[in-house]
Every structure is written in structure tokens, then in C-alpha cells.
Structure 1
Amino acid sequence: MRRLLFLNGIKAFEAAARSGSFAAAGAELNVSAAAVSRMVHLLEERLGVALFERKANRLVTTAAGRAYQNGLTPIFDALASLTAQVTAPSSVRVLTIGVGPTFAMKWLIPRLADFRKQEPDIDVRITTGGAAVPFGEDWSCGIKLGDGEWPGLIAEPLFAADLLPVCTPRLAGALKRPGDLKGPTLLRVAHSPDDWPSWLEAAGTARITARGPEFEFYGQALQAAVDGLGIAMGIRPYIDDDLAAGRLVAPFALSVPKGMRWYLVYRGFSTAQRDFAAFRRWIVRAAAEPATRRKGLRHAG
């Protein structure tokens, strides 16, 4: 027989551990901070285990508390998702995908027509944010660049993230070797300051320093490169379509691993949801297809 201890206390603890305070948990659960504190204290007494260290201005979970919260949060997420599925009208099928703005514009959106052709009844919703945006509670899945380590989530690799300079064919005509690159023409991305130094060092031209215009996102820098403003550091798979269309070319053969990969990120219980399962099958297949024909790629020398 299933033995569940004090569900209100468990819910209060999980909210407090996730939010970091009794007050925030109380606001979420629509009770007072004092009520949350009492329920957590009763839970600790019943379990015979301390879940929090009470500091002067903050809560710190104990080792047992961290382990408990890491297990509870996915359970509550799964319960919320299941409830939403059961109560939603049968005609409504929504898939919310969290991605960065450049990935959305440069890879996902141009390919969504293919997914919609296969799954016309699924309402795809895209929510964008920067690389540091946490996994949203309402996301069906996310596509993130990183090391594959996101606690509580499954990370399935999709693409390598290789770096190589790209520019218009006109600018490429003056680039015979990496030493021809000039710092003021090298377009930079603010959140990835190591891209140019990594590539230039691998090319044996570490003396060159990127000093060109700086942009917030890769997509902005790549658009500036298309417009002839300078040479952008391209990252795959952002650049594949631009290379195939001839909007950009890669003047040098050298590509350098960024040290991260692109991952499809999701909660474990999502695999049982048919809409996510359909999207997962599609994107894994799309990511495994050969890179778009690189007619814009020409080798140095």
C-alpha cells in the first residue's frame, strides 16, 4: 500500500526549497509564511530528518533536503502537466518550445513548416530568451547550448557547435589567409567574448584582436555580416542556410569546436506525452540530416 506522509507539508517544503524562502512559498500557496514554516517543521518531525538549516536571512537546504527537493519537483511538475492534459479540451494540442532568439530565427522557424505538415493538429508556440534563461514551467521542451548538465532535466544532444568566420563574397575576396583579418572588421557577440580569440589562436594569428562592432545576439552579428558590415564568427547550425543560399561564405576551412553542444532539453515525464514525442522524433531526425549544402564554403589558399 502506498504510504504518503503529510502532503500539505511536502508541498510546502518543495515550494520553500525551490523558491528559497517561506514568504515566497506562502505567496505561491496562498498561505502565510508562518503557516509554511509550521508545515515544514511538522514534516521534519514526522520524517525525523532536518530539511533546512535556518539562517538569519535565508533558508539553506540540508543534504537530505536537497535530495528530497530534487525528487519532489519533477513529481509536482508531472502532476501539473497531467492535470493540464486531463482538463484541457480534447481538441487543444499545444507544444511550447523554449529557444534562444537566434536559434529560433536561423534554424527552427525555417523548418517548422515541415513539422506542421506532419503534425497539423499541434499548436506550436515558441518562447525565446537568452542562453541563461531557466527552463520554463510551461515549456514542453527547450533547445539549449551548454554542457548537457541541467539538474532535473534530460538533455539529448542535437548538434555540435563549431565556430568559423563568415562574411559576404565581396569581403571574402580580400581574405587569402587568416593573417589578412583585421581587428576592426571582426564583428563580436557580447555574451561570447571567447569565440574570436579561440579561432584566431587555432589559426595561428593570436596577435589579431577583434575590435569590431559588438552585438547582443549571434543573429544580429550574422545579419550585419550579410549586410557587409564585417566578418562575423559563425556558429553551427546558425550559418548553414546562409552558406547554402550564398548570402555568406566561409573564407577559411578551419572550424573550431566551441566546447559546447546543442541539446533538446525536457523533463523525464514528457516522453509519455504524444505531442512532445512527435516533436522529439522530428527534431532528432532533422538534426541528424546532413548539413545544408554548403555551396558558400570555400577553402583558404
Structure 2
Amino acid sequence: MRRLLFLNGIKAFEAAARTGSFAAAGAELNVSAAAVSRMVHLLEERLGVALFERKANRLVTTAAGRAYQNGLTPIFDALASLTAQVTAPSSVRVLTIGVGPTFAMKWLIPRLADFRKEDPDIDVRITTGGAAVPFGEDWSCGIKLGGGEWSGLIAEPLFAADLLPVCAPRLANALKRPGDLKGPALLRVAHSPDDWPSWLEAAGTARISARGPEFEFYGQALQAAVDGLGIAMGIRPYIDDDLAAGRLVAPFALSVPKGMRWYLVYRGFSTAQRDFAAFRRWIIRAAAEPAARRRGHRHAG
């Protein structure tokens, strides 16, 4: 027989551990902070385990508390998702994808029409943010660049993140070898300062230092390269379509692994959801298809 201990206390603890305070948990659960504190204290008594270290101005979970919260949060997320599925009208099919702005613009959005042809009844919604944005509670799945380890999430590899300098075709004529690169012409991305040094070292030209204009996102730097402002450090798959269409060229054959990969990330319970399952099948297939074959062009450079 299933033994469920004090569900109100469990909900109170999970909310407090996730938000970091009794007050925030109380606001979420529509009860007072004092009520949350009492429920958590009763839960600790029933479990016989301390879940929090209560400090002056903040809550700190104990080792047992962290382990409990790491297990509880996915369970409550799954319960919320299941409830939303059961209560939603049968005609409403929403898939929310969390992704960085450049990946959305350079790869995902140009291919969504293909997915829509396969599953026109699924309402795809894209939410964007920076590279460090955590997995959102309302996301069906996400696409993230990293090492493949995100707590509580399944990560399936999609692409290698290889680095390759790219520029407008008219600038490529003057670049016969890596030593022809000039520091002020090398466009930079603020959150990836190691890209150029890694590639230049691999090319044997570590004496060159990137000193060109700096941009917040890869997409901005790549657009600047298309416009002829300088040479950008491209990252796959951002550059695949621009190379295939001839908007950018790769003046050198050398590509260098970034040391990370792109992953499809999702919670374990998502595999039982038909809309996510359809998207997962599609994106894994699309990620394996070379841009040149899909677009009918040959890669430039």
C-alpha cells in the first residue's frame, strides 16, 4: 500500500526549498510564511530528519533537504503537466520550447515550417533568453549548449559546436592564410571570450588578438559579418544556412571544437506526451540532416 506522508507539508517544503524562503513559498501557496514554517517543522518531525538550516536571513537546505527537493520538484512538475493535459480542451495542443535567441533565429525558426507540415495542430511557442537561462517551469523542452549535465533533466545530443571563422565573400579574397587576420577586424561575442583565442592557437597564430567590435549574442556578430564589418567566429549550426546560401564564406578549412555540444533537454515524464514525442522525433532527424542537402546548395568556402 502506498504511504503518503503529510502532503501539505511536502508541498510547503518543496516550495520553500525551491524559492529560498518561507515568505515566497507562502505567496505561491496562498498561505502565510508562518503557516509554511509550521508545516515544514511538522514534516521534519514526522520524517525525523532536518531539512533546513535556519539562519538569520535565509534558508539553507541540509544534504537531506537538497536530495528531497531534487526528487520532489520533478514530481510536482509532472503532476502540474499531467493536470494541464487532462483539463485542457482536446483541441488545444501547445509545445513551449526554451532556446537562446541566436539558435531560434539561425536554426529553429527557419525549420519550423517543416515541423508544422508534419504536425499542423501543435501550437509551437518559443521563449528565448541568454545562454545561462535555467530550464523554465512551463517549458515542454529546451535546446541548450553545454556539457550535457543538467540536474533533473534528460539531455540528448543534437550537434557538435564547432568554431569556424566566417566573413562576407568580398572580405575573404584577402585572407589566404590565418596569419592574414588582423585583430581589429575580428568580431567578438561578449559571453564567449575564449572562441577566438582557441581557434587562433589551433591555427598557429596565437600572437593575433581579437580586438574588433564586441556584441552580446552570436547572431549580432554574424549579421555584422554578413554586412562586411569584419570576420566573425562562427559556431555550428548557426552558420550552416548562411554558408549554404553564400551570405557567408569560411576562408579557412580549420574548425575547432568548442568543447561543448547542443542538447535537447527535457524532463523524464515528457516522453509520455505525444506532442513532445513528435517534436523530439522531428528535431533529432532535422539535426542529422546537413544544411547543404536540405537547402539544395553547396557550402561556400
Contact 1:252/1:300, CA 8 A, preserved across alignment: no
Contact 2:163/2:195, CA 8 A, preserved across alignment: yes
1:85 match: secondary structure: helix
2:157 match: secondary structure: strand
Q: From the superposition, tell whether residues 169 and 297 of structure 1 become closer, same or farther in structure 2 (CA, over 3 Å).
A: farther
Alignment size in residue pairs? 301
Distance across 1 between alignment mates of 2:295 and 2:121: 36
1:138 match: secondary structure: coil
1:204 match: secondary structure: coil
1:220 match: secondary structure: helix
1:232 match: secondary structure: strand
Q: From the superposition, tell whether residues 269 and 137 of structure 1 become closer, same or farther in structure 2 (CA, over 3 Å).
A: same
Contact 2:189/2:217, CA 8 A, preserved across alignment: yes
Distance across 1 between alignment mates of 2:75 and 2:180: 56
Distance across 2 between alignment mates of 1:276 and 1:35: 38
The one-character-per-residue Cα deviations of 1:182-219 (angstroms, maximum 9, x if unpaired) are: 00100000110110011001101011110111111100
Residue 243 (structure 1) shift? 0.4
1:293 match: secondary structure: helix
Residue 87 (structure 1) shift? 0.8
Contact 2:165/2:234, CA 8 A, preserved across alignment: yes
Contact 1:166/1:251, CA 8 A, preserved across alignment: yes
The one-character-per-residue Cα deviations of 1:258-292 (angstroms, maximum 9, x if unpaired) are: 01100001010000000000000000111112343
Distance across 2 between alignment mates of 1:99 and 1:299: 26
Residue 108 (structure 1) shift? 0.4
Q: From the superposition, tell whether residues 125 and 297 of structure 1 become closer, same or farther in structure 2 (CA, over 3 Å).
A: closer
Contact 2:246/2:299, CA 8 A, preserved across alignment: no
Aligned 1:273-284 pairs, distance under 5 A? 273-284=273-284
Contact 2:245/2:299, CA 8 A, preserved across alignment: no
Contact 1:188/1:221, CA 8 A, preserved across alignment: yes
Residue 293 (structure 1) shift? 5.2
Q: TM-score, normalised by structure 1?
A: 0.97
Q: From the superposition, tell whether residues 190 and 167 of structure 1 become closer, same or farther in structure 2 (CA, over 3 Å).
A: same
Residue 118 (structure 1) shift? 0.2
The one-character-per-residue Cα deviations of 1:209-238 (angstroms, maximum 9, x if unpaired) are: 101111111000000000000000000000
Q: Which residue does the alignment assign to 2:62?
A: 62
Q: From the superposition, tell whether residues 299 and 42 of structure 1 become closer, same or farther in structure 2 (CA, over 3 Å).
A: closer
Distance across 2 between alignment mates of 1:261 and 1:192: 14
Distance across 1 between alignment mates of 2:241 and 2:10: 50
1:96 match: secondary structure: strand
Contact 2:244/2:291, CA 8 A, preserved across alignment: no
Contact 2:248/2:300, CA 8 A, preserved across alignment: no
Q: TM-score, normalised by structure 2?
A: 0.97
Distance across 2 between alignment mates of 1:280 and 1:295: 22
- % of aligned pairs identical? 96
Structure 1 stretches of at least 4 aligned residues deviating more than 2 Å after TM superposition? 290-301
Distance across 2 between alignment mates of 1:34 and 1:242: 57
Q: From the superposition, tell whether residues 286 and 297 of structure 1 become closer, same or farther in structure 2 (CA, over 3 Å).
A: closer
Distance across 2 between alignment mates of 1:116 and 1:190: 34
Structure 2: unaligned runs, 5 residues or longer: none
Distance across 2 between alignment mates of 1:231 and 1:15: 48
Distance across 1 between alignment mates of 2:212 and 2:294: 26
1:165 match: secondary structure: strand
Contact 2:26/2:36, CA 8 A, preserved across alignment: yes
Distance across 1 between alignment mates of 2:93 and 2:249: 40
Q: From the superposition, tell whether residues 33 and 289 of structure 1 become closer, same or farther in structure 2 (CA, over 3 Å).
A: same
Residue 239 (structure 1) shift? 0.3
Q: From the superposition, tell whether residues 183 and 293 of structure 1 become closer, same or farther in structure 2 (CA, over 3 Å).
A: farther
